[in-house]
């Protein structure tokens, strides 16, 4: 698996330290609030598992599915959302936990849907931010790493559903990405 990686962008140690610091910040910011951590499947599961254990105030967790990619490395622009949506967010301070903010279409759509459920607040927490690729007017409230316009995998992020189990964030070799896309 590691042979398919061009270079490591964020190491395991760097991930662990940054996520721990973020958990402290969230714990401070959400003191006395009704925090709901809403993880966007599947890419954010590893980030979510680490982040929630770095938060030391009471909170609830839930999951939502958002899909716009299929097997492609570029977004299709159409986002399908399912899971806990507008029905059960009323009275919560929702913190969306996302793996990567890219075009912004996914979170734009998700926030639009959640807002109809009248939560107390909605904020975005993303592990990675690729600002060069933004097309929708979306900004992260919490972001761990800003990365260049390269396709990355690992720590939950996939290419055609593979590489999610890598413990670091790496750039996939161009040839490997192309072979997976055309499958």
Q: Which residues are catalytic?
A: 102
- Contact window for Mg ion (CB under 5 A) among 22-30, 92-100, 130-138, 173-181: 92-100
Among 15, 19, 36, 43, which residue sits at the site for Mg ion (rule: CB under 5 A)? 43
- Contact window for Mg ion (CB under 5 A) among 16-24, 43-51, 130-138, 171-179: 43-51
- CB count within 10 Å of CB 30 equals 20
End-to-end CA distance of the chain: 18
Smallest gap from Cβ 158 to Mg ion, in A, equals 9
Measured from the CB atom, the residue of 106 and 143 that comes closer to ligand IMP is 106
Q: Are 87 and 28 in contact (CB under 8 A)?
A: no
Which among ligand IMP, Mg ion, none contacts residue 101 (Cβ within 5 to 8 A by kind)? ligand IMP
Q: Are strands 60-67 and 80-83 parallel, antiparallel or unpaired?
A: antiparallel
Helix (H, G, I), strand (E, B) or coil at 35: strand
Look-up: residue for tokens 């592990």? 127
Measured from the CB atom, the residue of 58 and 70 that comes closer to ligand IMP is 70
């Amino acid at each position: 698996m590691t042979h398919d990686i061009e270079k490591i962008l964020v190491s395991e140690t760097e991930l662990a330290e940054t996520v721990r610091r973020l958990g402290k910040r969230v714990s401070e910011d959400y003191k006395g609030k009704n925090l709901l951590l809403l993880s966007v499947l599947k890419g954010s599961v590893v980030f979510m598992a680490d982040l929630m254990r770095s938060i030391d105030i009471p909170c609830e967790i839930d999951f939502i599915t958002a899909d716009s990619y299929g097997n492609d490395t570029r977004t299709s622009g159409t986002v399908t959302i399912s899971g806990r949506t507008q029905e059960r967010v009323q009275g919560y301070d929702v913190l969306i936990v996302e793996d990567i903010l890219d075009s912004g279409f996914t979170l734009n759509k998700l926030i639009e849907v959640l807002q109809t459920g009248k939560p107390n607040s909605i904020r975005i927490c993303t592990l990675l931010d690729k600002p060069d690729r933004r097309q929708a007017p979306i900004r992260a409230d919490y972001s761990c790493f800003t990365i260049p316009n390269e396709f990355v995998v690992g720590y939950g992020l996939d290419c055609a559903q593979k590489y999610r189990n890598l413990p670091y964030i790496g750039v996939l070799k161009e040839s490997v990405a192309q072979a997976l896309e055309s499958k």
